[in-house]
Amino acid sequence: MDIMSHILISPTELVALEECENTSKKSVLSIKECITNFSETSVGDSVVTVSSIHEVWEKVVGEQVAEHVQVRHLKDSVLSVVADHSAWKTQLKYMNQQIINDINEHLGEDKVKSISLSVR
């Protein structure tokens, strides 16, 4: 499955992307240039970070948990995840600190300080 199919861009991030496009001095901005500029901002950085988290999510939480709990977004160092049942939310509570440690180890820096758990 393509990693990009898992990335959810929030309305705030879309506005930032549009502002990047609108402030360009060129009359036409390539998609590559726009995405590069966007990814270099703090808003864009969260998209890049979430993409990296998606890459290791199953390895960090295990296959069974990954089937039921998905990463949504990262904002202010809070990783938002959603479970398909409250039992999985409870399971993640017990794994919370280990997940944070494992993700930050993979990222090479402390990007995730806490996890926000919700049930859809």
Full set of structural domains in the chain with CATH: 8-119 (3.30.300.180)
- Calculate ∠ Cα 93-4-30, nearest 5°: 135
CA distance 18 to 16: 5
pLDDT, one tens digit per residue, over 29-47 is 677 777 666 655 555 567 7
Rg (CA), the chain: 16
pTM: 0.64
pLDDT, one tens digit per residue, over 51-104 is 899 999 999 999 999 999 999 988 889 999 999 999 999 999 999 999 999 999
Instruction: Give yes or no for residue 27 having a pLDDT over 60.
Output: no
Spatial contact of 66 and 42, defined as CB atoms under 8 Å apart: no
pLDDT, one tens digit per residue, over 92-117 is 999 999 999 999 999 999 999 999 99
CA distance 57 to 70: 8
